[in-house]
A and B are shown apart, each in its own frame.
Chain A
Amino acid sequence: MSAPEAEHQAGTSHVGADRIRSVLTRLRRVDPRLYVVYVAFLLILVFFSIYLRDDGFTSSQNLLNIVKQTTPITVMAVGLVFVLSAGEIDLSIGSVVALSSLVAALTLRDHGMVLGILAGLGVGVGAGLINGFFTTVLRLPSFLVTLAMLGLIAGLARWVTDLASVAVVNERYANVFGSGSVGPVPSLLIWSAVVVALGWFLFRHTRFGAHVVATGDNTDAARVTGIRVARVKIAVLLLSGTLAALAGLLYAGRLQSATYTLGEQDLLPVIAAVVIGGTRLFGGTGSVVGALVGSLIMGMLNNGLILMGLSASGQMIAQGVILLTAISVTLREPRGS
């Protein structure tokens, strides 16, 4: 072995040892937030599988349904991982869903599929840019900015058709965004997979993702090392607005109709999915894959509780209790910080 090679070998084994050592350190300081979502997922899956074994919970049809129904939540959750990790929040996503579905359905009816999609997404881009502008240029808390936008956009969604629903009759659109499939794979499943995969890559493997967590972790540190903090914040709000608009398109495709109530109830499950999935509510750490699993948990709960025959009010109470439990495990700060 030549000298440079030996040196290279030594270097790698050194880093290998580092990796082992760091795994050991991590194991010693087990942070429940890192694994609780996976354990919870398995526990809930096992519980429903046993308890509801005669009600078809585990049928592939039902499991597929869960994934399909949670697609909009998953898509929004991916966006919110970025926003929360950057130390901001976006409360306007639910109303963006409604307005984008309506705008898409109206444009679709009169001007065709492509313009319909663009118009729907445009709602999210617009909302994201406005949220970003007020949060960075005017330096207002995103909590208040997006709360105001939530009201404003919800109002627009009611106004645009005067509360009327709009049917989506375009079959190609319904195929792509709803009931269709590519071979045996439902298109909604593909949307989930694609958004999660792209989101994971962007978050975990690009400089942008690194700048997002750094911004949420220590804004001043990020700024003095030359990261353009304001741009990062605008970008994450733009991303979450756009993904919320995509969720609106997906609802409109699956239900073949758009209405102002779409997405109204989604903010809580989305935040729950993201936070249970290991994303810190105050910035600095996040997980896209965790958010996916968190979102599937919310879907399973919804589905399982219905199959158990709980009334709507019973479901809400059960969801609340489960959420509180989940949050008290995941939100507790690790000791020594």
Chain B
Amino acid sequence: MAELKPLVQLDRVRKEFGAVVALEEVTLDVYPGEIVALVGDNGAGKSTLVKLIAGVHQPTSGQIVLDGEPVRLSSPSESQRHGIEVVYQDLALANSQPVYMNMFLGRELVRGPLRQLDRPRMAQETRQLLDELDIRIDSPRQTIRDLSGGQRQGVAIGRAVHWAQRLVLMDEPTAALGVQETKRVEEIILRMRDRGRAIVIVSHSLDQVFRISDRICVLRRGRQVGIRATPEVDADEIVSMITGLR
């Protein structure tokens, strides 16, 4: 990995909410085509870290560096402009709208001098993307409400893949899913990695972390306990890092 340049670098990033220190000092480089798992107990600061990169929160101190340049990600749109997309824990989908409109939410395609919505093209591009990622949905014109939980998460991930040029952040993407659906979503995540995107995934399931991640970053009460290459650790070591017990 030495010859690759990191897509995203966190340099001693710290976040306080009033008197609460949610993150003490996190330093992490994420490379193209790798999956970094973020693990830790409840309240360890995982979601906060995701939100810092997503532009939802801004660090109290420290820097986020993209392509060697420190950047200020002042809003989610700012992050999106830098090719960073998020799959939120509580599916950020508009339930009464069709799949293709969700895929293009906020970035709808238009045509003609009147700038009309190009619904056929959005539906067709959505169809292609769903096929490429093997996300099984009858029609891109279906309403989100009519989909299963796994299909919905597929749409949310598909949207992130479609727009992310750099990094996809996922906060517990399979927390609400059954076993089969989880398996399918993991397959989608692996296909996404093969497209050269970097992925940071928050997960509570160590099994899942060992199945799909390349590196594991452990947080405990806002502190970065360590980063390990997944093939070089076992679950016991990660558990003791998470809990602080030997």
Contact = CB atoms under 8 A, between A and B. Distances in A.
B80 interface: yes
B92 A284 contact: no
Nearest to A29: B146
Contacts of A285: 96
A15 B140 CA distance: 9
Interface in B74-110: 76-77, 80, 86, 88, 91-97, 101, 105-108, 110
B95 A218 contact: yes
Of the listed residues A221, A222, A223, A337, the one surrounded by the most CB atoms of chain B closer than 10 A to its CB is: A221
A284 B96 contact: yes
B94 A222 contact: yes
A280 B88 CA distance: 26
Interface of A: 11, 14-15, 18-19, 21-22, 25, 29, 201, 204-207, 209-211, 213-214, 217-218, 220-227, 280, 284-285, 334, 336-337
A15 B131 CA distance: 12
Given A207-B115, A225-B107, 6 more contacts: A14-B127, A22-B142, A201-B114, A207-B108, A218-B93, A221-B91
9 contacts: A14-B124, A22-B139, A207-B117, A221-B94, A224-B86, A224-B92, A225-B107, A226-B80, A280-B96
Contact of A210 (B95, B101, B123): B101
A337 B95 contact: yes
Contacts, number: 102
A16 to B, nearest CB: 10
B180 interface: no
B120 interface: yes
Nearest to B123: A15
A221 B92 CA distance: 4
B145 interface: yes
Contacts of A214: 94, 97, 101, 105-106
B110 A221 contact: no
Interface of B: 54, 56, 76-77, 80, 86, 88, 91-97, 101, 105-108, 110, 114-117, 120, 123-124, 127, 138-142, 145-146
B97 A207 contact: no
Closest 8 CB pairs of A and B: A225-B106, A217-B94, A22-B141, A221-B92, A284-B96, A226-B77, A18-B139, A22-B139
Contacts of B114: 201, 205-206
B127 A15 contact: yes
Contact of A225 (B95, B105, B110): B105
Given A21-B139, A226-B106, A221 B93 contact: yes
Contacts of A201: 114, 116
A206 B115 contact: yes
Contacts of B94: 213-214, 217-218, 221-222, 284
Contacts of B120: 15
A18 B106 contact: no
A18 B123 contact: yes
B80 A18 contact: no
Contacts of A15: 120, 123-124, 127
A248 B94 CA distance: 36
B152 to A, nearest CB: 12
A245 B141 CA distance: 37
A221 B139 contact: no
A29 to B, nearest CB: 7
Given A207-B117, A210-B108, A227-B106, A18 B141 contact: yes
Contacts of A18: 123, 127, 138-141
A220 B108 contact: no
A48 to B, nearest CB: 34
Contacts of B91: 221
Contacts of A222: 94, 105-106
Contacts of B93: 218, 221
Of the listed residues A22, A222, A284, A285, the one surrounded by the most CB atoms of chain B closer than 10 A to its CB is: A22
Nearest to A18: B139
A10 B138 CA distance: 17
A68 B113 CA distance: 33
